[in-house]
Each structure stands twice: as C-alpha cells, then as structure tokens.
Amino acid sequence: MKPILFSEGQTNFSTNGLGRLSDAISCTVTEERNGQYELHMEYPIDGQLMEQVKYSRIILATPADNKAPQPFKIYRITKPLSGVVEIDAEHISYQLAHIPIMPFTSGGLTPTFNAFTTYCAETNPFTFTREGSFGEALARSFEVKEPNNLRSLLFGQEGSIIDIYGGEWEFDGFNVILHQARGADNGVTIRYGKNLTDLKQEENIENIYTGICPYWKGQDSNGDEVVVTLPEMVLHSTSAQNYPYQRTKVVDLSSNFQEQPTVAELRAAGQNYIENNDVGTPAVSLDVAFIALHQTQEYADLTKIEHINLCDTVTVTFPKLNVSTKAKVVKTVWDVLLDRYESITIGVIGGRLSATLQSQQEQAIERAVSQSATAASTEYATKATVTGLSNVLGNISRDLDNIKFIVKALNGQNGGYIFITLDNNRQSDEMIVLLDSPVFSSAQKIIRVNENGVYYTSGGYENGTWIPIIDSNGQVNAARLNGIISDEAGKGSWNLTTGAMSLSSDATFGGKTIATLVGELMPDVSTALSTAINAYDASLNQAAVLNKLQGASDVGLYLGTDGLLHMLPERVITDGANIPSAFLPTTIVGGSVTSYAQVRVSNGIIYPIRYTVTYYSGETILGTESVIAGEDCEDVPVIERSDFLGWSDTDGGTVDNSLLLNILADTDLYAVFSNS
C-alpha cells in the first residue's frame, strides 16, 4: 500500500487521513527483535503533501510481509538535498517512553500488566496482553522501586519485563503483546557456505570454541588450595574433528559446586556446559539482501525466505562441519513501496553496550570493590581509556597489579573526569564525560553516551537540556554543526551557519577548472535547447516534431497528444538518471503516440509507477492492492453476499465495474449492495 499521512495525535487509521504519500521516492520500515522499529522515507521537496509533512504527524505504512499497516510518528525531517527530503519516524509504541510509572510490586506477569494502567502518571492508551504459557516464569514477582518510564520497563534494562519473564515483544498499533515465542518455524533451511574456505563461513567459525578445559579451584577438607582438572584435560564437542584447527576454552566451573567435586562430577558439569552453550556450533549471522537473492545458491529456497517474518526460526546447516543450528530472524527491512523485503538478518542480535560491558565486567568490579575500604558507591570516575579499562578487566583475575590499579581508578584516587555508571540509579547505564570540572555536582558542560547515542549539555546533568549529537543509528545531528569548513590550501570553504560556499578560481573537478567545465558544457546545452525549440513549429504539429527527433538532431524529447513533454525510451536510461515521474511511449502509429506508460527512473533503472486500490464496504477496509499504472485490478476481494452488485467510486453510488480497469491513480472503490 502507499503510505498514508495522518494528523498528530490521531488514533483511528481507517480513513485516508491527510492523503496518501503516493509520490514518495522510497520508504522502508526496519524492525529488530525487542528493539528498533522505525520508518525511513525519501520524499520530493515538490511532493503533493510536502507542506503537510510535519513533526509528530503520523505515517501509516505496511511494516512487513502479511502484516497490518502500522502508525509511525515523524521525529526527523532533513533539509532538502538535490530536491529530496529524508523523513524518519518511530513506531507509535515509542510513546511508551513518555508515560511515567510510579513504584509498585506485583506477584506475576498478569498483575504487572494491570499495574501498567493503575500506576500510570499520564493517560495510557496502550493495552498489554501475552501469548504463550511462560511456565513457572508467569508467577515471578515484578517490582518498580522508583518512578520510571514504561518503555524502559518493557526491555533494555536490568529488571525489565524481558529480563524477568523472557519473551519477545510485538507492537501492533496501541496493542502491546508479549509472546513467549513470537515467530514460527516453517521449515526454512539454509545451507551455509560450500566449504571451509568460504569467506563468510570462516568469519563465523574463527571465534568458535571446539572444546573446553574445565577446572575447579577451592579448598579441600584440610583448608589447602586445590585445583581439580580432568585426566584427559580437554572435552571436545561432537563436531570438533570437522574443524581445520582446535580452539579450546578454559572454563572455571568452581561456582557449580559447594565443595570439591570428583573427576566424574567435573566431567559431567563440563559436558553440560558444552551442550548448554552450543560449543562447536558456529554463531549464525546472515544478512540476506533480496536484490540479487536468486543468484545465490545458499538461498535457493527463495519462496519460503521471502515470506518469513521477524522472530521466525530457520535451520542453518554447515555441511562441511556436519552440524546444524536454529537461528531467528532478528531484523527485517521492508520496502513499503515495492511490497517486499529489502533485507533480513538471521542470527543473534547483540545486546546493549551497557549490558555487554556489565556482563563481562560485573564479577571483576565486585572483586575489585571488595578490596577497597573507601568504596561507597557503584558509580566511579577514572581517566583510564575504555580500551585500557577493558584490557585491564579482561586480565583482572590473573593480575593483582591490575586489580590494585582499577581499585584506585574506580575510587577516584587517580583523579576523575570520565564516569561510568554500572547500576540502575538512572534509566540506563552510560558513560559521562565532565568537560569543565572533575566534580560531578559542579560540572556544567557534560557529554553522555548511552544506548540512545551521544548527547551534550551546558547546564549540568540534572537540570541541563540534552542536545543530541549522534543518535542510536549513527546519524549526526546536522543542526548542531556550525562554523566554517575550509581546506588547508585555502582554495575552498563552506560556512555551515550561512550555507555559503566559496571556491577559488583555480579549484578543479576531475582535473578541470570550473571555467573549463562551463565552457565545455554550455555549447551542448545551447545546441540541445536550440534543437528542441526548432522542433516545435507554430502549430505544435506532433508529426513534424517526431520527424525532427528521429533525424540527426534527435534530443529524445517530443510533445505528446496529452500536451506533456515525453522522452523516447533510448534517451531515458543514462548513468545516474533519477527521474521521479517520466512518460514513455509504448505505441507510436503514423508518427503519433497512441499509448504510453508512466514510470520513475532510479539510478538508470526504469520502474513502473504503482497505485494503491483500496476496497471498502461502508467505512470498513476489505483490502488493498498495488497495481502498475495502466493495468487492471487483480486482487479484488471476493464478496459472497447474494445482494452484491458490483463496485462504485462512491459509497452507495452507481455500479461501474470498469473502474477496476486501467488504473491511473490511487483509487477507492466501494462495494454496492441491492439491500443497502
């Protein structure tokens, strides 16, 4: 379907709103498992609804295969570049981040969902349901110790719904659904790589362990330090012999036992570790692009892959390794205008940076803090670089000197300008850089880095206004750029405040000065204009125009019978051609155009323009279909009522089934019944 624009605050999306964004150049929806859910659109600056495109307005668009249209709220509109405006919108569920929840405690998942309404500090238009039994997890208690926003409580932090109960979120308009397992396994299998020299496969197995060396360390019954290992030393996975080399991980299983284990007990614990951690199975990470998918042997089962959805499960086999594993679709990018996937990602999606750091460093930090008599908080300052800190923490259990250094750094004994939060005193773990003071409470100029991106304030942490510098998608906030960019030689400059650009007279492009380029281009422009003007005689006789165009002075343009300027097919496709709307003749009889097709040209490739036909029964939408300009409707809803007469362009109007033919615009058709 064509995206539809609605006013801000709209909750009913059964109408055409402010209009369809039919002239959008591109539109994609990206959704990640328990993560990002956003829309990106390119729209011409002279588009029909450009003046209506404003912040907080809503774009209704299809997000994936066989999914209902979803509302996305506009949060970013760029300045036009080459006549094209970029629009970013986030799913309406992001509004949950602006709904405060007051402290409460509940005794299970269902009471927690009820509390999300009871303890809201603002009106909450969202409903919460679950799909699946969730087993024993269903009865786990949930606690909000301090006011928090509702979206943070769903996922993305310690103690969230996902953290306590597990599951996968689905956002359907204002309906929020927690699935025990959102997707399905429809039997899709991908054979991953042809042999071990395949580049992508090598990348996925280079960090895979083929076995473990387990050990236990502690005190025996006499209080002496003891290390228990296996006689065979290493336990290999069943597929280890299929790898070109062995990679063995040393695993400390001390926490598995309260007292010294026997060799048999240690061996059993090691085998459980191999099974539970998929030792010997490559980590699946596939980016499936659909543009040239049919040329790829790995994706021969194209039909099934094209119709899988987010969180669906596929089987990935590694023939040379004689192993297979299950993997989920963790990200989809849907082309709204072409009604197909642009790409999908299969594998395991990474956690937040803060969660990853905490999982790797938590035990090391706790051991370090326990040795410091002056540690009073889990919020620390250090001048150590992130790289240095990571390296130190990676070796902390084996290097006492590093432990002492970290303890001093975490307690500020080395000074402190960089803060790293490792607890839940704030909504998310983050790194804080103090720019004008080593004291947190007095610092005014601050940079903070968290899962939302990089932000700056000049008014202090608690009271300052945070300005986005780089968002979570890696996009720079161009509005914050100012000053003058100039080259070292002084041949050119760009004033980011005024927008003025300056180039010296000897500046070159491709080795040629501007004067040379203009001198080379202008004669061609003049000749083309002169030829085109001479081609149009006083009566605009088309036959005369075509005769001239087909001669030596052919510039590929002619005047159509509809009074529009047309282009001959052989003149349209040029390197880099980008034409939002072009007319191509399909039949020329006796020098006259008898039929033509409307198309768009993108990067030298011709695409047919499609229009959306929406079928109604009263105000109820029965369905939609995308029809190539000039073709007939094919996916007409089947109506089994005996009093159904046909279709009209108005509700209750006269039946005219010819409206299903030769579609040349977005069309609304209404079912007509004899008894209505």
List Cβ neighbours of 379 (8 Å cut-off, separation of 6 or more). Answer: 419, 420, 421, 422, 423, 425
Structural domain includes residue 262 = yes
Residues 463 and 372 reside in one and the same domain: yes
521 within domain boundaries:
no
* pLDDT for residue 592: 58
As a whole number of angstroms, the longest Cα–Cα distance in the chain is 113
Q: Are residues 241 and 162 in the same domain?
A: no
pLDDT at site 415: 44
In DSSP notation, 268-315 reads HHHHHHHHHTTTTSPPPEEEEESSSGGG-GGG--HHHHHT--TT-EEE
180 near 201, Cβ under 8 Å? no
Same domain, 71 and 28: yes
Q: Give the DSSP H or E segment for 599.
A: strand 592-602
- Domain with 563, as residue range(s), is 536-608
Residue 219 corresponds to which tokens in the numbers above?
């005190």
Nearest to 323 by CA among 449, 417, 431, 191: 191
Taking the CA atoms of residue 300, residue 304, residue 305 and residue 306 in that order, the dihedral angle to the nearest 10 degrees is 110
Gap between the Cα atoms of 545 and 568, Å rounded: 12
524 Cβ contact partners less than 8 Å away, ≥ 6 residues apart: none
3-state SS track over 415-460 = CCCEEEECCCCCCCCCEEEECCCCCCCCCCCEEEEECCEEEEECCC
Residue where a domain stops, chosen among 331, 347, 363 = 347
**Does 626 reside within a domain?**
yes
Give domain status of residue 393, yes or no: yes
Whether the Cβ atoms of residue 424 and residue 159 lie closer than 8 Å to each other: yes
The pair of structure tokens assigned to 607 is 């695409």
Q: Which residue has the tokens 């039994």?
A: 133
pLDDT lower than 70: segments of the chain? 156, 191-207, 244, 282-306, 318-323, 348-417, 419-429, 436-441, 478-483, 490, 518-598, 601-606, 676
Q: Are residues 334 and 358 in the same domain?
A: no
Judged by DSSP in three states, 413 sits in coil
Q: Are residues 145 and 51 in the same domain?
A: no
3-state secondary structure of 389: helix
Same domain, 287 and 219: no
Residue 600 lies in a domain: yes
Among residues 356, 427, 448, 524, the alpha carbon closest in space to that of 153 is found at 427
CA distance 132 to 47: 45
Determine the pLDDT at residue 68: 93
Q: Does residue 431 share a domain with residue 415?
A: yes
253 in a structural domain: yes
Residues 300 and 362 in one domain: no
Query: Do 341 and 447 sit in the same domain of this protein?
Result: no
Domain match, 56 and 129 both: no
Structure tokens of 117? Answer: 């309404």
403: left (phi over 0), alpha (psi -120 to 50) or beta: alpha
Residue 375 shares a structural domain with residue 388: yes
520 domain-assigned: no
CB 95 within 8 A of CB 73: yes
Please state the φ and ψ torsions of residue 433, each to the nearest 5 degrees: -110, 115
Judge whether 593 lies within some domain: yes
Of 100, 139, 140, 135, the residue nearest 120 (C-alpha): 100
Placement of tokens 């090391």 in the chain? 364
The torsion defined by the Cα of 128, 131, 132 and 138, in degrees rounded to 10, comes to 0
Predicted local confidence at residue 575, as pLDDT: 43
Look up residue 527 and give its DSSP letter.
Answer: H
Neighbours of 67 (CB within 10 A): 16
Last residue in a domain, options 448, 471, 494: 471
**Domains identified in the chain, total number:** 7
Are 135 and 69 in the same domain? Answer: no
Task: Return the pLDDT at 326.
Answer: 79
pLDDT of residue 443: 78
Domain end call among 608, 629, 663: 608
